[in-house]
């Protein structure tokens, strides 16, 4: 009987199995990995993807917070328009620099990784005190 080398490993290391080939989120090149859910062909691609998201996120974070928590200023400065413009610029950059591949994860993947985002927020009852 043939056995995979990973099954014979008794070192206590995580068991690695061959996962289906998938396209790297950064470069788009198909790759195989022993890690379930692997998204990148290597560290360089993982860092490039996450660095771009960090840079773009920093640009839109303050605008989004103002939109949500300082409506008057956001309205006067047309923050929603600025956010939309940022998104359009990012998409154009993706088309020019990434052969059109999107630079963001699907929302369902975000929710799968961060289930607390859709958790119900429990607040104290708003009943008047007697
Ligand atoms: Zn890659």
Domain ranges of the chain: 16-100
Q: How far is the CA of 6 from the centre of ligand 1 (A)?
A: 25
pLDDT at residue 82, rounded to an integer: 97
Percent of the chain with pLDDT over 70: 82
Q: How far is the CA of 109 from the centre of ligand 1 (A)?
A: 19
- Whether the full predicted model's pTM is greater than 0.85, yes or no, is no
pLDDT at residue 127, rounded to an integer: 67
- Give ion ligand 1 contacts, CB < 5 A: 24, 26-27, 41, 45
Please, what sign has the CA dihedral across residues 70, 75, 79, 80? positive
**Residue 8 to residues 11, 14, 34, 127, Cα–Cα distance (Å):** 9, 12, 15, 62
Q: How far is the CA of 111 from the centre of ligand 1 (A)?
A: 24
Q: Lowest-confidence range among 2-6, 32-36, 37-41, 58-62?
A: 2-6
Q: How confident is the model at residue 120 (pLDDT cuts 50, 70, 90)?
A: confident
CB 19 within 8 A of CB 5: no
Q: How far is the CA of 35 from the centre of ligand 1 (A)?
A: 15
pLDDT at residue 23, rounded to an integer: 93
Q: How far is the CA of 20 from the centre of ligand 1 (A)?
A: 16
Percent of the chain with pLDDT over 90: 65
Q: What pLDDT digit, counting tens, does each position of 7-36 carry?
A: 445 555 555 666 778 999 999 999 998 888
Q: How far is the CA of 27 from the centre of ligand 1 (A)?
A: 4
């Amino acid at each position: 009987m043939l056995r995979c080398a990973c099954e014979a490993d008794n070192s206590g290391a995580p068991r690695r199995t061959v996962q289906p080939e998938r396209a790297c989120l950064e470069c788009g090149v198909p790759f195989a990995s022993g890690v379930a859910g692997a998204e990148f062909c290597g560290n360089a691609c993982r860092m490039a993807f996450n660095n771009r998201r960090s840079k773009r996120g920093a640009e839109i974070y303050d605008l989004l917070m103002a939109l949500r928590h300082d409506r008057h200023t956001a309205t006067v400065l047309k923050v929603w328009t600025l956010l939309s413009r940022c998104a359009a610029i990012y998409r154009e950059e993706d088309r020019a620099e990434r052969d059109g591949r999107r630079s963001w994860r699907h929302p369902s993947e975000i929710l799968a990784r961060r289930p607390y985002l859709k958790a119900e927020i429990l607040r104290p009852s708003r009943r008047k005190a007697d």
